[in-house]
Structure 1
Amino acid sequence: MSLPLLRFVLSKALSRCPLRPVSHITVTSSALRPAWVHHTISPYQRVSFCTDAESVDVADHPKETKKLDPRGRVTFSSVGRKIGQRHIQLLGVDGEELGTVHRAEVVRMMDQTGLKLVAINENSDPPLYKLMKGKQIHEEQMRLRETQKAKTGPVQSKELNFSSDISLHDLETKLRQIVSWLEKKNHVRLTIKAGADRSTPLDEVLTQMVERITVPVGFVSKPTVVRGGRAAMCVLRLPSAKELRQKATDTLSETVKRDPDTPTST
């Protein structure tokens, strides 16, 4: 059949058929989604956006060394048998110089004498160590503990107020309270108010009362007249070791002046 004849037959057949509604093809929404939406990734294949600390080039960012806090607690103890350096500068139990010693020889000396090794200065070259007894180490630890305790924590302040006309019994009671506070390393603020008898300046009266305290005292502030002469005030504390030595020297000098025949210690 020729092509023109085929077209004629088809046109006649279509003209005789009734019109029918066109069927619409329903397209689901999933068919319109991009292909990458349907490609799921299992959890272990997901990419993490956290920066790996070990993948950073440490050559460009050198690690900072931690600075030591000068206020940190100082420790004092035996290093045991683990000596990090091959040769060390060694001191004997009485502080005598033993020279530079190999660590194996140091361990042998510790085994023979029963002494312990303590680091004195690990930053020196060679590092400085000392052989010590257990009792010596304990005493040094206690001394360091007391020193650190004195440096840390605020100083507590106590206060007493009384009149210059106070009775002797009441004064002795207050002085014992002052001693108790001073022994606990507290500062004590004393304020004396003018009584009926004002013949003696209040700062002198307060000085005389302080001289009756049974323990050595130092001053944060010495007796001073305040409130327009109506009171006197001072702040007491325990004396320092330097002040105690100076007091002993002054006392000895006064004794020699009074009695030139008194022998003096050299």
Structure 2
Amino acid sequence: MRRDIPQDTVRRNEQVRAREVRVIGADGEQLGILSRNDAIAHAKELGLDLVEVAATADPPVCRVMDYGRFKYEQQKKKAEAKKNQTVIQIKEIKVRPKTDDHDYDTKVRHIRRFLDEGDRCKVTVFFRGREIVHKDRGQSILDRIVEDTKDIAKVDQEARAEGRTLFMMLAPLPKK
């Protein structure tokens, strides 16, 4: 039974505008083309609602169903989909061309932790003053980071210079 109708645009019972509608019964069988009033009367007989499922068809298609239960199931599906979605964040690590080895190792550990958690990581090299002349040092730091994280990350966006910064994006490798 298809129930993928957006609930904010659904017409039911007396809101259905067409004179004649194609009716689908509560258990999915075709009841044929009936007048709107006959279809509503049939739905009321069963204690259910007449819900318009395809308004653009000629004649419009309506289904006999429990509208309250339908709305409840839609709400549950939406909550389940929201619960199952994962939000990927972008974490940023900032380094300088003169970053020492111990500080570099700490930054790489942070990058590895972010990637293990499934987040993407933006690595930024900041240049201050005349350091901008030695962009090759910044590039070598980024290359070293790529080398140190190649077992768990891939380069999502190659190193790019923008003003006084040089940055690249790392993304976690797909889990096996």
Q: Structure 1 length as normaliser, TM-score?
A: 0.36
- Mark the structure with the bigger radius of gyration: 1
Q: Structure 2 length as normaliser, TM-score?
A: 0.48
